[in-house]
Amino acid sequence: MKVKWGANLQVISTVAKVLPLIVIVITGLVKLAQELRKQEESGQLVQPVLFVLLVLLSVLLYFAVSLMDPGFILSDDQDLQFTLGVTEEQQDMIPHTTKSLRQRRCGHCLLQQPMRSKHCQTCQHCVRRYDHHCPWIENCVGERNHRWFVLYLAVQLLVLLWALHIAWTGFRHAPGWQLWLRSNGMLLTVAALVALLSLIVLLLLGSHVYLVSLNTTTWEFMSRHRISYLKHCGADENPFDRGTFDNLWCFFCVWGTVVWEQVYFREGSDQV
């Protein structure tokens, strides 16, 4: 019974998360159909087609980020000691309250953790360059899907702002407030919901771009006082920061697994 009830709760939770999006999509499609008729009469179909394609891209990115491997650590790297290139003298630079890099193991899955990785209690896996666990996509955001998560937020924001514009232009004029609310009440509710979601996504996207420009993660930003390789650094000191432009370029344009131990010790950022 507990397992069945837990499964039902998961289904209810998923439906509750998707329901506002369904309402927005249905209302947007109704409004879009009206706009299509108007623009079809005038011979203009470019904007409605682009909006539909943008919505489809947003949905595809959502499922891609949700189903993508965020960087789960499933086994020990046998060549870790050779790829890190970290000497015993450099290991002494890490505060003595932590274990040696080559002996650092997760207390839950007992796997060897590279620097900047963290065990997710929800996914039950260690994640490389762990950022956070997102309940909306029901997946972790880590090294492999973080850039796609930021891209998804950007596309989602464009969709919401475009939907807000469609709703705003759809309001009908009426001689009084009561008549205006009767004819525009549903559309006003949807516009308010879209505006609220737009603000949330804008703040979330802005915070992620800001952290990416500093080459830090949400977990490191929120819990640096508890992270062994950061708690001895100053409040404004980040050993992974390579400058705003280089941070953004490496995040969005450079593919591969970065050996963060080498970046930490300033021996280069070679990839493997």
The DSSP secondary structure of the chain, one letter per residue, reads -HHHHHHHHHHHHHHHHHHHHHHHHHHHHHHHHHHHHHHHHHT--HHHHHHHHHHHHHHHHHHHHHHS---EE-S--TTHHHHH---HHHHTTS-TTS--GGG-B-TTT-PBPPTT-EEETTTTEEETT--EEETTTTEEE-TTTHHHHHHHHHHHHHHHHHHHHHHHHTPPP-SSHHHHHHHHHHHHHHHHHHHHHHHHHHHHHHHHHHHHHTT--HHHHHHGGG-TTTTTS-TT--TT---HHHHHHHHHH--S-B-HHHHHTTS---B-
Residue 214: both structure tokens together: 């500093």
d(Cα 28, Cα 155) in Å, to the nearest integer?
A: 16
Residue 106 is a catalytic residue:
no
Which class for 245: exposed (0-12), middle (13-18), buried (19 or more C-beta within 10 A)? exposed
Residue listed under structure tokens 């947003």 = 58
Contacts (Cβ under 8 Å, ≥6 apart) of 110: none
Q: Which residue in 120, 126, 134, 250 is the catalytic one? A: 134
**Active site positions, annotated:** 134
